[in-house]
Amino acid sequence: MFLDLIKRFRQIAIIMMILGLFITACTEDETPINNNTIDESKVLVEYLEANGNYINTAAPSVVKASDVYTMLLTSPSKLYVIDIRTAEDFAKGHINGAVNVSLANLLTHIKSINPTQYDKIVIACYTGQTASYGTALMRMLGYSNVEALKFGMASWNPEFKSKWSSAIGNSRATQFETTANPKPAAGKLPVINTGKKTGAEILEARVNQLLADGYTVASIKNSDVFDNLTKYFIVNYWPENQYLNPGHIPGAIQYTPKNDLKSTTFLNTLPTDKEVVVYCYTGMTSSHVVAYLRLLGYNAKSLLYGANAMIYDLLISNKMTAWTDEECHEYEFVK
């Protein structure tokens, strides 16, 4: 009888063990563990910094109208001009040989032309700001011969200059402050989810998304910022000495160009729960920077026309970058 009890106990133990294994297997099947989850923003930052680190080394990539005009005369076969203005404005006048392409189709078009056969691929827009945004995205993809036309078509001929001449102003000159604001503590990078795994794949997916979204969502007027200064995290993207004199937008925090937006410096001090507004002198450099930040998932916007639209006379007196009629040439254009 005692032996029978031992046998029965063993049988029960075996049955319980089998049931336990079955329940565990079912639980694992119902709630699979994803071991392939990656931090896409981190992967993308590491990839960009390991492959040229464009924003922190070469940006902004802009070319003067005079240099483009010289190439048109001396080596036109080595120049390719992409005009991303509307078809209607392109028809009213454009650089000879330019092709009209929408910002949304920029990457598709560049892939179709064998870009390596050109010394320069110049992107032209109205003022140089949207072109700078598109240029930054192309440069980060590795198209190192892409440049934005400085000041856009406004610099090509007086016919187009009103976009810039009407934008300059001094309405904020009395509102700028000269006291320094500290950077916040470092936090986490934004969360992006393309479903891709490698840096190159994530980058291209993000570029396609940003091109489709357009430039309007990546830019903001200074009137909107000054209406609610505390709503935004404002980045002053010029040297510290200029941040203090002639000063900066109230509450703005200074980030040194080509240094402070690295993963090893202060990139992680930018907030992920607030709109980030970046401004420079003209809006062209800030457009480059915002392209980078939006790739990483920040809700970043470039301040249109930069300080030129806020403290123009102070820029001139301090010999900082500013639009003047001298920037506008009288180069021929075609219709």
In a domain, 188, yes or no: no
Are 231 and 275 members of one domain?
A: yes
Are 110 and 227 members of one domain?
A: no
Are 161 and 44 members of one domain?
A: yes
Residue 96's domain is classified under what CATH number? 3.40.250.10
Number of domains in the chain: 2
Are 48 and 156 members of one domain?
A: yes
Are 144 and 238 members of one domain?
A: no
* pLDDT at residue 37, as a whole number: 81
Are 161 and 210 members of one domain?
A: no
Structure-token pair, residue 259: 């240094």
**Residue 237 contacts by C-beta under 8 Å, 6 or more apart in sequence?**
255, 257, 278, 279, 280, 285, 286, 289
pLDDT digits (tens, 9 = 90+) for 198-208: 999 999 999 99
**Residue 29 predicted with pLDDT over 70:** no
pTM: 0.88
Are 133 and 209 members of one domain?
A: no
In a domain, 263, yes or no: yes
**Residue 275 contacts by C-beta under 8 Å, 6 or more apart in sequence?**
231, 232, 233, 299, 300, 301
In a domain, 99, yes or no: yes
Are 44 and 149 members of one domain?
A: yes
Are 222 and 125 members of one domain?
A: no
DSSP string, 128-153: SHHHHHHHHHHHHTT-TTEEEETTGG
Per-residue DSSP letter, 94: B
Are 218 and 125 members of one domain?
A: no
**Residue 19 predicted with pLDDT over 70:** no
**3-state DSSP call for residue 194?**
coil
In a domain, 280, yes or no: yes
pLDDT digits (tens, 9 = 90+) for 109-131: 999 999 999 999 999 999 999 99
Beta strands in the chain (DSSP E): 62-63, 79-83, 99-100, 120-124, 146-149, 219-220, 232-236, 253-254, 275-279, 300-303
**Residue 72 predicted with pLDDT over 50:** yes
In a domain, 75, yes or no: yes
| Mean per-residue pLDDT, 145-156 | 98
Residue 281, domain extent? 199-317
Q: Which of 165, 184, 215 is the last residue of a domain?
A: 165
Question: Computed over its alpha carbons, how large is the radius of gyration of the chain?
Answer: 27
Percent of the chain with pLDDT over 90: 89
Are 159 and 48 members of one domain?
A: yes
In a domain, 1, yes or no: no
CA distance linking residue 229 with residue 246, whole number of Å: 19
In a domain, 18, yes or no: no
Exposure string over 166-195, b if 16+ CB within 10 A, otherwise e: ebbeeebeeebeeeeeeeeeeeebbebeee
In a domain, 35, yes or no: no
| For the chain, the helix, strand and coil percentages under 3-state DSSP, each to the nearest 5 | 45, 10, 40
